[in-house]
Structure 1
């Protein structure tokens, strides 16, 4: 009896696919592929050694992401550096970013993410990617059952000064009307606070069944929104000055029940354990299916600049 090889992204290199090691060679290669079918089958695609420059990346976005999305309702700190092109999450280099699917806490989430390495770090800084079906299967049955009823995400977005992101940065607008119009289509509950901030509560599932493959995958950000995901010292410091209800972001089960710390820890650790690290060199590209695959970031030293764009 043979054991199937563990899942890993498919990597393309110029010599292996007999194309010129240049951005032009990559464009020709991409034009010959059925990207949608390949992405559904292989989940994550990596291109190395094509000498893709920053301007070239813009052209790759046009080819691989037919409809670029903005990062509206995004909760992680980023800088917008082009036409719906952003830096990857700007989080201190010494910390791991746990596995997650982009905007999985929101009613509207992208189907694809395209990453580009503009500057590789001195060491570390890989982007781990995980097969969402394998992540789900790795969890204990009682954890899967506890999460089955879904989640409720809570945000307290300040109006310009405070912890976390402002509502203006989160929704990329200064207009309250635009925010209300956006949220009105999401099933969220919200109210404007007297201090100028915005409180949002958004229901969401713990898993989704991908309609293309029939696979059920782990699909939420409970471990990132839970206070336990902040690390012991940070969680204790925040708890000393505010209740969990008032934190910039928090999460509970859909019925309002607290999520046990040990469940959050298991989700985080087993997601990272199932992940495959994608190391970066300047000019590398990676395209992932944002439903079938989660991603994160390993700690690093030196300067790291990885850009990302997303599509519906």
Structure 2
């Protein structure tokens, strides 16, 4: 078995166990029989080689269970993390039209959402508001939080099943009509807001025509507003996805992340809204129930220095808890 060669699977009290042998998340640590006799430099190389050797097994694991947490491996710097990402050989996703403000650190490594750390980032699938969302995400804990600042995760099919049970008519509406996303983007980044990335940064240009062209490639439309702000709109998009590997539907939308729009008559200090595909407003009670389900079903594992988390973005929603005591530095990488 692959785990006997390079990895060993361990249990943590926060994990959840589901039918069909799904452990959420899977936690892998170094096989002590191998790693205990290696130098620090050899350990770094060994981890990368282990990923390459067991890539097929690791991919099947994350496609079955949704998340793998690698703990106890010699990943200490952004460069180490970049090496881990590259060892998996997933194609890189260019971060065009993403709402979170990020800064490139090295290679394929970026900061996570740069909004104030004391602000909670609600549950979401990364970039679910565009056609080509990332399929995989990596997170790396360079500095573990003093208190708070964790990254809760929840299986999206659980949310779908519970919402369908609680609000069958609403879910049927979503199934039939999909959702529309409306985002108000300012000229420049607003670091005070979870989704406050400016259009110049989002489309990597100061040219409005170029921005429109890049948005159109993702089936999005830009409408210019006063003050050089722009209204980004896309959809209707499917509110759910079908997980072929596991033969189930997933709750692939950002209803929990957005305001139940529309933004008509609002100003550019408001940001992200969601509507049903036929321009109807999402019921407040449905959004509240969705948030409640996510909070009840999520797993929260405290970060430790050197942790690397591989997330199947098509199966799993993630969020960020408010940081109560610094420091905290968690980096990210997005893959096609």
TM-score range, shorter chain: 0.7 to 0.9
Change (3 A) 1:180 1:95: closer
Q: Which residue of 2 aligns with 1:73?
A: 97
| 2-structure distance, mates of 1:27, 1:274 | 33
Q: Which residue of 1 aligns with 2:52?
A: 31
Structure 1 segment 141-220 matched on structure 2, within 5 A: 141-148=168-175, 149-160=177-188, 164-203=196-235, 204-220=237-253
1:135 matched to 2:159? The reply is yes
1:8 matched to 2:40? The reply is no
Matched residue SS, 2:233: strand
Matched residue SS, 1:277: coil
Q: Shift in Å at residue 57 of structure 1?
A: 1.1
Matched residue SS, 1:177: helix
Deviates more, 1:46-55 or 1:74-83: 74-83
Matched residue SS, 1:303: coil
Does structure 2 retain, via aligned residues, the 8 Å contact 1:69–1:84? no
1:47 matched to 2:70? The reply is yes
String of CA shifts for 1:161-217, please: whole Å, max 9, x gaps.
878332112222223333222222222232233532222211122111123333210
Does structure 2 retain, via aligned residues, the 8 Å contact 1:225–1:251? yes
Change (3 A) 1:59 1:143: same
Q: Which residue of 2 aligns with 1:91?
A: 115
String of CA shifts for 1:81-135, please: whole Å, max 9, x gaps.
2234221112333343222110011112101001111111112222111111111
Deviates more, 1:138-147 or 1:56-65: 138-147
Q: Which residue of 2 aligns with 1:124?
A: 148
Change (3 A) 1:210 1:178: farther
Matched residue SS, 2:153: strand
| 2-structure distance, mates of 1:223, 1:193 | 26
Q: Shift in Å at residue 16 of structure 1?
A: 6.1
Consecutive unaligned residues of structure 2, counting only runs of 5 or more, are: 1-17
| 1-structure distance, mates of 2:270, 2:180 | 14
Change (3 A) 1:56 1:155: same
| 2-structure distance, mates of 1:288, 1:115 | 8
Normalised to the residue count of structure 2, the TM-score between the two structures is 0.81
| 1-structure distance, mates of 2:274, 2:104 | 27
Q: Which of 136, 145, 162 is the matching residue for 1:112?
A: 136
| 2-structure distance, mates of 1:306, 1:161 | 20
| 1-structure distance, mates of 2:32, 2:225 | 57
Normalised to the residue count of structure 1, the TM-score between the two structures is 0.86
Deviates more, 1:145-154 or 1:89-98: 89-98
Aligned length: 300
Does structure 2 retain, via aligned residues, the 8 Å contact 1:158–1:165? yes
Q: Shift in Å at residue 299 of structure 1?
A: 2.4
Change (3 A) 1:160 1:12: closer
Matched residue SS, 1:278: coil
Larger RCO (CA under 8 A, 6+ residues apart)? 1
Structure 1 segment 154-303 matched on structure 2, within 5 A: 154-160=182-188, 164-203=196-235, 204-226=237-259, 243=266, 247-300=270-323, 301-303=325-327
